[in-house]
Structure 1
């Protein structure tokens, strides 16, 4: 269990998040949603230890996150930030192998090499293993980084907008894979998504943030209401349900109450 107990995060005088209390269970995908600039990325950076809580405590299976010497804490995480760059003069396979950088020597053993190739196969890019990573599209680079995170075999997965550069097919591929691996490995998975429909489809729990505070935490069916979306995003929506019972968000397009016909305009 990954627990936040009354956590407040500050950078200088600026408060990025305040009084966050939530418990995240193994084997579940927790999707963080909320308007831009509301503390979603700050939450992931705090869990990873890049930002230190100004108040409160973070615990993993009852053990508090240390204030110093964070190396052992971070080794338990697979962290995929949003701004990845990857303008490296390395092959796709070499980038994936960097996921085990702490364990690599001058020679990569066959077992590790096969693990890296399997991670690439899982994301559909094994045929590009020898390609220079800087020659790939942004979406392909995102999938390479996900393969790198897979290779780390983490206990906790943190992903910040992992599908933002992907087309629909690869969004589904990555999130389906994340779902399967979370269940199989008992990961505690925390992923930031802007697409509310993807959040509803793949999230076991939604962590709803606004103005740096926790607005709601629960299943998509319990959390995603038209009232909440209107309040957070300032957009009127209809909330229906798909064939599996997951909420489906449809913005209500602004329409003229008295449409003018082309003939009237011409007159």
Structure 2
């Protein structure tokens, strides 16, 4: 195995789908380097969400999913969940938590203990996303775009090695689309040497170009 493969993400003979319908079959992606944003583009129904859910361990799959040379498919789900975070297009409905509480819960899920310093990290992230004023608002009272931003905060606070974003801009206005993609790009660069990778799929990618990523 080459050093290049060991320092990035790759898929080999990867298949995913449902018991009676194959969606992704025998997909091989040789190498996606660390510290980069990769955009997965395709028409509706082409299997983008199915692929990412399977990579996160949320759907049946087979083959190899290598992260730094380690096959994530052979790991227990709990171990993979520590390394891979999948953000769906919409957050689960009916969650009656404050925004701040929901992000602290996500932080604890990644092994972080609650403390004043940890809470300040959460608030700093909310300020970066422009939603600090929503900290004490309930999730089930937010708009679709606000929920997307909270979901992104929940994902970022966990500091995964691989972040899978499914249509992360779909409910945001144009100004927030640029703001969010700029934030993701900056976080990608900042964390590059810690080993995270970012895989974004969206129909609008205003800031993802070969020169900015």
TM-score range, shorter chain: 0.7 to 0.9
Any unmatched runs of 5+ in structure 2? Answer: 1-7
Q: Tell me the CA shift for residue 97 of structure 1.
A: 1.1
TM-score, normalising length from structure 2? 0.86
**Whose radius of gyration is greater, 1 or 2?**
1
The structure-2 alpha-carbon separation of the partners of 1:86 and 1:93, relative to structure 1 and needing over 3 Å to count, comes to farther
Aligned match of 2:106: 99
Written as runs of structure 1 = structure 2, the 5 A alignment for 1:1-150 is: 1-22=8-29, 23-54=31-62, 56-67=63-74, 69-102=76-109, 103=111, 108-150=114-156
Q: Tell me the CA shift for residue 10 of structure 1.
A: 3.1
For the Cα contact (< 8 Å) 2:89–2:148, is it kept in 1?
A: no
SS at match of 1:3: strand
Written as runs of structure 1 = structure 2, the 5 A alignment for 1:215-230 is: none
CA–CA distance in structure 1, aligned partners of residues 11 and 55 of structure 2: 9
- Within the candidate set 182, 191, 206, 2:188 is matched to 182
Aligned match of 2:5: none
TM-score, normalising length from structure 1? 0.70
Written as runs of structure 1 = structure 2, the 5 A alignment for 1:149-188 is: 149-186=155-192, 187-188=196-197
For the Cα contact (< 8 Å) 2:90–2:147, is it kept in 1?
A: no
C-alpha RMSD over aligned residues = 2.0
More divergent stretch after superposition (163-172 vs 62-71): 62-71
SS at match of 1:21: strand
Q: Tell me the CA shift for residue 51 of structure 1.
A: 2.2
